[in-house]
Amino acid sequence: MGHHRWRGAAALVVAALATVCVSSVAAAAPSGVVAAPSQTSKESVVADRAQALAEEMTVAEQASTVVMGHVAGTDPAALRAYMESGLGGFIIMGSNVPSSETELQALTAALTTDPSLPPLIAVDQEGGIVSRLKGDNFAASTSLKQLPVADTTTAFLARGSQVARAGINVNFGTVADYTADTGSFIYGRALGTNAASSGKRVAAATAAQEQFVASTLKHFPGHGAAPGDSHSAIPSTTMSLADWRESAAIPFADGIDAGASLLMYGHLAYSAVDPLPASLSATWHEIARDELGFTGVAVTDDLGMLLSSGDPAYADPVANGVAAVAAGNDLVLMIAGSDAQTASEMAAGIAAAVDGGTLPEERLEEAATRVLGLRLELSAATAQWTICADCEPVD
């Protein structure tokens, strides 16, 4: 998968901010010395296993594994029942976060119906303006953009370990958009005000988190150049592809080079490249794969946001999900406007599109294989994270 998490007894990372320290707790290494498999061979084994699993699945099962669902509530039994349909993931929103971390750990544990293949459990934990988890008092974008890059590393070491401690394995937490416009809705969430400063901090945040969780770059290809808020419209820019390569592309390229596991596509249009929103654009998926070298899981931003745009072209959430997979997304996400049946309806619509010949079977299998590969990689994690009172910070 091209990722470089530190796992098992050999991994020891300590993040210190204020009085909080986080350390890895793992079983003692056995006596004797055994040569560890190379990173490349481990990735090859995971990729082969993911491919085999995808090939064994029915079309309906593949369709379910490329859908990340959501329902409100903090009842572990109810959430477990929701996941028994075979969905590939679940996103934790504020409505799912109970009062204590222990309760949250019980809730996230309940989401795993098959311990050998845990789902992707995600959260938007950027810190600061966008925070779902309680107790994240670590430095966030509002201050990090003015601080040395090392401060971003420190903050996201702590943030990533807090996410992992909760039993969450994916963080939609790294904003690779940038803007110098203080009036932009994304300004307060951005890690920099120009390509270079943003890129350095995005890379630092990515490398820090990938030691604990699968991190995500968002919102590709970049909100800063497209004015407007994609929660209620489809922002657009006439920026050329050549100009994009020299500006908005840079933080995403830096994050990809740092090992980001996921790339989130925004509902924004660079009309000179493709009039469609990037989330539904095959062109932008090709650019990320072919030009930036991204090999991980492509995920949509909340498809419910397309409904909120009011554009009649995007009034059917299931059709949006099918179009998103056809464009190149491996994982589709739907939160706004969804209910307990929405994710299953999305999966059924994707499967029906394959059966009807409007969505290539090979495209769905490719998407399922990538999602399964990340799920398998995360299931191999052996590190456990806990607060420790006597940890010494490392440089």
Known catalytic residues are 231, 301
Q: How many residues does the chain have?
A: 395
Residues 89, 321: Cα–Cα separation, whole Å: 15
Q: Is 20 left (phi over 0), alpha (psi -120 to 50) or beta?
A: beta
Strand partners, 217: 174, 263
67, containing H or E segment? strand 67-69
- The burial class, CB within 10 Å (0-12 / 13-18 / 19+), for 377 is buried
| DSSP string for residues in 160-201 | HHHHHHTT--EEEEEE----S-TTSTTGGG-S-SSHHHHHHH
| Residue of 251, 257, 149, 249 lying closest to 210 (CA atoms) | 257
Neighbour count for residue 363 (Cβ, 10 Å): 18
The full DSSP string for 204-229 is HHHHHHTTTSEEEEEEET-STTS-S-
